[in-house]
Amino acid sequence: MRRGANLPWVGDYNQAVVLEGIRRHPGTSRTELAAASGLTLQTVSNIVRRLLDRELVQEGGVPARLRGAGKPRTALSVRPGQALAVGVQFEREHVDAVLLDLAGDVLDSCREQLSDGPATSLHPSPVHATRAVRSLVDGSGNAAAVLGVGVAVPGPLDFTGPVRSSAINLPGWRGVAIADLLAASTGLPVLVENDATAAVGDLWRSPLVGRSFLHLHVGAGIGGGLVVRDEVLRGESGNAGEVGHLVVDPAGPVCTCGAAGCLEAVAAPTAVVRRYVERVGAPRARRAGLVLAEHTVLDDHDRLELLAREGDAAAEAELERAAAALARAVLGVVNVVDVSEVVLGGGGLRRTGERVREAVRRGLAVAMTREVHPVQVRLGEAGELAGALGAASAVLHEALSSTWVGVHGPAREVVISPVAPVH
């Protein structure tokens, strides 16, 4: 399923397979690419010639440690700066944007603070996002290499026509045609994804294939991306992965979605900060260093972790309640989908990440598959930029990647397989 707004496609399927092989294996040779892909050496050589002409790959340029000893060969690597993408992520407090290159490295990033909250950040005019995109594109030194803009917004989204947001998470955005608005204001193709997109970033930058994992994103809200055997699980309408709306406490508070006791209503930073204030009162919370403005929720949440470490029992209790709820939800997802990794990310975990990781790890001691395979729990390397990075990766992925074929057995080193394109 391609949802790119006219993203440029670099070539045919076999070309994507070869480019993917070179990208994931810097230093590989034509002979190795042919052996791994099943394409003839002549076909691989022709494709590599085209990629060299388009300056997407180069001969040499491979670090000595990756070159290996022995047989003489011409090592191939991508030219990272020749294909770039911007990723944008909307949070309640700010808009983050990153500039990503073909090698998966973040070249630049910027943040636009939202003074009025998200309701005014995109609609009627996407001023903040446009400014962030323009500053990264202008600063790239190679605007022509920017393939497009990926945007991560809280779901659910309506992908049936021009991508529109739903009112459930962001009341001011009902029916806003996000991609069209931003494409018009930036002049670039725009691809819109929900929070699941953070998982795409993890996928794009991974040297492994055949992975199955949950990417849990804790920002101001909570979302998730599910990947099964390298395929992002989309669901009927592209909205799978709303982990934040798993009910973890039926007696809990009513959620924005209308249900009671959703994970987001119990464990999102907003909920944790609110409960802490209810416990100790606003004056004491302020004296403890909390600011208690809508746009400081993540900072206040960070502050609670510091207070807990200093012995504040109320902060400790509320953070542990949230961590336990997150662990309960993750256990449910792991049991239903059978993943072998849980990646935790987002600004809501920048201070509490280790606490949550430990709670999730403990919770998974009773996972149904525990005697079949371990489930690793780790903090994502992209941290709070995971959504923006994933959105940028999604652009590169849509424009340049082959679709992975199913792999059986544990995640392992990449095997490049030519199959018919599904696009």
Beta carbon of residue 116, minimum distance to Zn ion (angstroms, whole number): 24
Segment interacting with Zn ion, rule: CB under 5 A, options 91-99, 101-109, 124-132, 237-245 = 237-245
Half-sphere exposure of 385 (CA within 13 A, CB side): 19
Torsion angle defined by CA atoms of residues 176, 179, 180 and 186, in that order, rounded to the nearest 10 degrees: 120
Rank residues 308 and 325 by Cβ distance to Zn ion and give the closer one: 325
Where would I find the H helices in 140-218?
178-186, 197-204
Beta carbon of residue 373, minimum distance to Zn ion (angstroms, whole number): 31
Beta carbon of residue 337, minimum distance to Zn ion (angstroms, whole number): 19
Rank residues 264 and 299 by Cβ distance to Zn ion and give the closer one: 264
Beta carbon of residue 353, minimum distance to Zn ion (angstroms, whole number): 23
Please choose, from the candidates 247, 190, 186, 244, the residue with its C-alpha nearest in 3D space to the C-alpha of residue 215: 244
CA distance 205 to 381: 10
The residue from 178, 248, 262, 382 that contacts Zn ion (CB under 5 A) is 262
Rank residues 255 and 399 by Cβ distance to Zn ion and give the closer one: 255
Segment interacting with Zn ion, rule: CB under 5 A, options 52-60, 242-250, 349-357, 381-389 = 242-250
Q: How many residues does the chain have?
A: 423
The residue from 62, 110, 257, 405 that contacts Zn ion (CB under 5 A) is 257
Beta bridge partners of 192: 151
The residue from 245, 275, 301, 303 that contacts Zn ion (CB under 5 A) is 245
The residue from 192, 255, 343, 364 that contacts Zn ion (CB under 5 A) is 255
CB neighbours of 258 closer than 8 A, spacing ≥ 6? none
Q: Does 220 bind Zn ion (CB under 5 A)?
A: no
Rank residues 89 and 256 by Cβ distance to Zn ion and give the closer one: 256
Q: By CB under 5 A, how many residues form the interface with Zn ion?
A: 5
CA distance 328 to 172: 31
Please choose, from the candidates 137, 235, 200, 224, the residue with its C-alpha nearest in 3D space to the C-alpha of residue 389: 200
CA distance 218 to 224: 8
Segment interacting with Zn ion, rule: CB under 5 A, options 97-105, 257-265, 378-386, 397-405 = 257-265
- Tokens representing 168 are 């459930």
Segment interacting with Zn ion, rule: CB under 5 A, options 9-17, 44-52, 62-70, 250-258 = 250-258
- Tokens representing 203 are 């996928």
Q: Give residues in contact with Zn ion (CB under 5 A).
A: 245, 255, 257, 259, 262
